[in-house]
Amino acid sequence: MRIGVPKEVKNHEYRVGMTPPGVLELTRLGHEVLVESNAGHAIGLDDPDYKAAGARILPDAASVFAEAEMVVKVKEPQPAEIAMLRDGQVLFTYLHLAPDNAQTDGLLKQGVVGIAYETVTDSGGGLPLLAPMSEVAGRMSVQAGASGLEIERGGRGVLLGGVPGVHPGKVVIIGGGSVGANAAFVATGMGAQVTVIDKSQRVMAALDSRFQSLVTTLYSTTATVEDECASADLVIGAVLVPGAEAPRLVNRDLVRAMKRGSVIVDVAIDQGGCAETSRPTTHADPYYVEEGVVHYCVTNMPGAVARTSTFALNNATLPFIVKLAGLGVKKALEADPHLLAGLNVCRGALTHAAVAEAQGKAFTDAAKALSALPA
């Protein structure tokens, strides 16, 4: 199979879909890998590195999209990239379609076979291709929140870890999954007072076992969220409904009731955000103040630590890329129900129920949609 790796074009996105070691695995299996020139330059992965791994370097994205049977990316395709996709071409990347009607419509119109990293599952019910970036984003969220609390950002001037004789800052994490657990790891390490809110007894028990007295776990109710957010210095939105829009758990009235200069870091922003006052921001302009509260809502947080993120992501995606390239997309999806769970669009059909529900569009069962693919 011919696999294309274009340079990412989203604002301040420096990750790349494949590393040279990943490329080497594929070329040794007889596949052809096409890499756009300078795709990994920002993180020290240069064209000679990819050439040494057996890749063919192409001058621009248009050349990569034109030749590739499968395009492997990191972030959702931007409008110019969607225009370069073609009927039956496989796109393997993060899509986050639920809150993005325009992208969904574009992919459906182009007839793409779109497999979303974030909805691929595993036998334990996890999301193996979302997990590595959730780990990065969770750890970064506390750093971003700590910076937002500084006076220059509009924050209330609180040091999360405190100092002897002074109370530490209070961090409230809504959602105890991978993002939440990693946020708690960093926040406790900084010496903050940490509370995690979740609906799952299993998740709360795991957090309690891991962090013991360093973290308070609370069952999620409207009253709990309101009480904890109102007293927090930093609120981290870490809720996830796989493939669907994030639930709006923090409404405007609650934001208004928070301390002036407190901070919301909405990690769920790529699925629409869990705070009513959240709106997407970029690494170029990450913070804004609304209702007296500092907001950080960057949709591609791991892009700021792109080298670490790229290697972590490629470690997770490579086995699936090898499977898709080796078996072909139809056989690979038929053979692996966990990979099939990642199929969001297929030659004009919308094949993820949560996305269809969020957008009010017709849903086609993924297994049924495979009939539109060549053997």
List of domains in the chain: 2-120+306-372 (3.40.50.720), 131-299 (3.40.50.720)
Q: Which helix (H) or strand (E) holds 33?
A: strand 32-36
Sign of CA dihedral 321, 123, 113, 306: negative
Q: Phi first, then psi: give them for residue 203, nearest 5 degrees.
A: -65, -45
Catalytic residue among 49, 100, 233, 270: 270
Alpha-carbon separation of residue 59 from 64, 72, 77, 84 (angstroms): 8, 17, 19, 15
pTM of the predicted protein model: 0.90
Q: In angstroms, rounded to a whole number, what is the distance separating the alpha carbons of residues 73 and 81?
A: 11
- Residue spans of beta strands (DSSP E) within the chain: 2-5, 32-36, 56-58, 70-72, 90-93, 113-116, 170-174, 193-198, 215-219, 234-237, 263-266, 287-290, 293-296, 343-346, 349-350
Contact 18, 313 (CB under 8 A): no
Q: What is the pLDDT at residue 17?
A: 98
**pLDDT tens for the chain, residues 1 to 375:** 999 999 999 989 999 999 999 999 999 999 999 999 999 999 999 999 999 999 999 999 999 999 999 999 999 999 999 999 999 999 999 999 999 999 999 999 999 999 999 999 999 889 999 999 999 999 999 999 999 999 999 999 999 999 999 999 999 999 999 999 999 999 999 999 999 999 999 999 999 999 999 999 999 999 999 999 999 999 999 998 888 899 999 999 999 999 999 999 999 999 999 999 999 999 999 999 999 999 999 999 999 999 999 999 999 999 999 999 999 999 999 999 999 999 999 999 999 999 999 999 999 999 999 998 987
Q: What is the pLDDT at residue 11?
A: 86
Contact 369, 343 (CB under 8 A): yes
Per the annotation, the verdict on 96 as an active-site residue is yes
Q: What is the pLDDT at residue 61?
A: 98
Alpha-carbon separation of residue 98 from 168, 245, 339, 354 (angstroms): 38, 5, 19, 7
Catalytic residue among 96, 198, 295, 352: 96
Question: What is the DSSP code (8-state) at residue 172?
Answer: E
Q: What is the pLDDT at residue 375?
A: 78
